[in-house]
Amino acid sequence: MSARWHMHDYRSPNLEGIVDGAIFMHRETAELLDGKGAVHHDLTRGPDGLVSLLKEGGPEDTVYAGSGPYAFLYHLWRERTGASYRIVREVHTSLWSGYWAQEELCRPLVRDGDLVLFPTQFTRQLYVQAFDSVREENSAVVYPLLHRLPRRRPVPTPPRTAPVRIGYLGALSEAKNFDQMVNIFVQVYRLSGGSARLVFAGKPNTDRFAHGQVLGSLRRRGVDARHVVSPGVLAPGELGRFFRSIDVLLFPSTASRETLGRVVVEALAHGVPVLAADIGPGVELLPAANLIPTVLDTVTEFSMGRILPLGRVDEECAADLLLRRSYTPARLAHTTPYRTEALWQALEGRPPDVQAPGDRRVVDALRVRPRPAGHPGLDPERAERLFLDYFQRHDDTLLQAVADFETRTGRTHPRLREIVVRAERNLADYRAFPRLLDALLLEPLSFRLADVDKESS
């Protein structure tokens, strides 16, 4: 019998207000599998939504767990019912409690034949190092994206005597080092005698990065308002116009959850060169000439429940690269993981070879505080009950759990209560159920980045 695919029906989630590369990829991959005749189910119904698979499914059936960090549910239901279907799961953010908890819960339930997909070798290395259930042979680097993107010729590098149009696209946040992007632009603007333009787009994550606030700050720093354009949050169909309006994209993000920098691949596909931090995913996407030296933060005790910058880029170096036009034109050197062929190969059990080494600086420096052995939150059945209580609207049970949590912590948690009483239940909203899981079951782990040189001396 030929292979049969099963997946959560991801065709119409409400994405209003959600701008996230992982969410877009869940939907896009679901559409690809839908073209292969995949059988749809509703994960939020629990095992009742997979009755035919659990009762009749065999080794020829594969569940694609591509709807967020919930793959542990498929593993649990398979174990409970003695089913034999195969599971392909995803990890779409790096040092985030959601996917870290998924892998903690999946760890004892992974079987031979299961597969986990990562957007980059960098992310894969993080999880291979942390989990004995994630190995080279049962994981792959796959992120099908190029089928949706153009393959435009590299845009010409403007001469040093002409204005350079610098672009930024993504969350306007501390984690993405957006403030450094602004500082770098101001340096280029001043040192070039005003011969620079800025186009920045994205959703602000804090009031100080609201578009009006940023524009006002730039004016106060001497930047002519006519040299700055802020189109706000862009829809996918508006990306082409954005990339045609810039000469180079600045991507200084060192966000603790960064796994790819989808915008980097998008920019390169549109022919726009990218300057990025020399840690994390940028290392395998860009030539060395386009990487900005970065100093890791070896002081902060990070939490996987928050998104923060892992380091800061060298602003003077970045400005110098832009002023001298000392960067390489756009070229996506390693295209294999981003083609649909890579997805089909992986799903058929023939994962493509990784062509680029991943960044080792963060991987080697990472020190995660371990969870105590026998922690009750590691019981996947408790996580299942919480998941079903939330998506099946057992609000009284959830509110009681929140009340018990408030008693234990000695303070109120109004944001958790807001999540429970909210009318909508959206699997695509990582600000909702994963926060309940963090608070009520699996507290986010903490980590730090060690100074490897000091440790070895």
Q: Give phi and psi for 39, each to the nearest 5.
A: -85, 125
User: What pLDDT does residue 329 have?
Assistant: 96
pLDDT tens by residue, the chain, 457 residues: 467 889 888 766 666 655 567 777 888 888 898 888 888 899 999 998 887 788 777 888 999 998 899 999 999 999 999 999 999 999 999 999 999 999 999 999 999 999 999 999 999 999 999 999 999 999 999 999 998 899 999 999 999 999 999 999 999 999 999 999 999 999 999 999 999 999 999 999 999 999 999 999 999 999 999 999 999 998 878 999 999 999 999 999 999 999 988 899 999 999 999 999 999 999 999 999 999 999 999 999 999 999 999 999 999 999 999 999 999 999 987 888 999 999 999 888 887 777 677 889 999 999 999 998 889 999 999 999 999 999 999 999 999 999 999 999 999 999 999 999 998 888 888 889 999 999 999 999 999 999 987 887 6
Could you tell me the CA-to-CA distances from 262 to 21, 156, 339 in Å, in that order?
Answer: 6, 22, 14
CA angle 74/29/425 to nearest 5° reads 60
Enumerate residues 6+ apart whose C-beta is below 8 A from 162.
195
CATH number for the 164-334 domain, one of 3.40.50.620, 3.40.50.2000, 3.40.47.10, 3.30.70.1560? 3.40.50.2000
Residue 224: helix, strand or coil by DSSP? coil
* 88 burial via Cβ count (<10 Å: 0-12, 13-18, 19+): buried
CA angle 235/239/243 to nearest 5° reads 155
CA distance 286 to 291: 7
User: What pLDDT does residue 1 have?
Assistant: 45
User: In the sheet that 86-90 helps form, which strands lie side by side, from edge to edge?
Assistant: 39-41, 4-8, 61-65, 86-90, 115-118, 139-141
Q: Give alpha helix (H) positions in 13-112.
A: 21-34, 51-56, 71-81, 97-106
| CATH 3.40.50.2000 residue window(s) in the chain | 164-334
User: What pLDDT does residue 16 have?
Assistant: 63
Q: In this structure, is the dihedral angle defined by the CA atoms of residues 429, 431, 432 and 436, taken in order, positive or negative?
A: positive
CA distance 10 to 320: 45
Q: Which two tokens stand for residue 103?
A: 């892998």
Q: How far apart are the first and last CA of the chain?
A: 59
DSSP E strand stretches across 183-242: 196-201, 228-232
Q: Give phi and psi for 106, each to the nearest 5.
A: -75, -25
CA distance 262 to 259: 9
Q: Each residue of 157-211: pLDDT tens digit?
A: 999 999 999 999 999 999 999 999 999 999 999 999 999 999 999 999 999 999 9
User: What pLDDT does residue 188 have?
Assistant: 98
Q: Give alpha helix (H) positions in 221-292.
A: 239-244, 262-269, 282-285
State the architecture of 4-145+337-360 in CATH terms. 3-Layer(aba) Sandwich (3.40)
Q: Give alpha helix (H) positions in 337-413.
A: 340-347, 361-365, 380-391, 395-409
305 and 436 Cβ atoms separated by less than 8 Å: no
Q: Give phi and psi for 40, each to the nearest 5.
A: -90, 145
Beta carbons within 10 angstroms of residue 70's beta carbon: 23
Residue 10: helix, strand or coil by DSSP? coil
Q: How many CA atoms lie within 13 A of 110 on its CB side?
A: 21
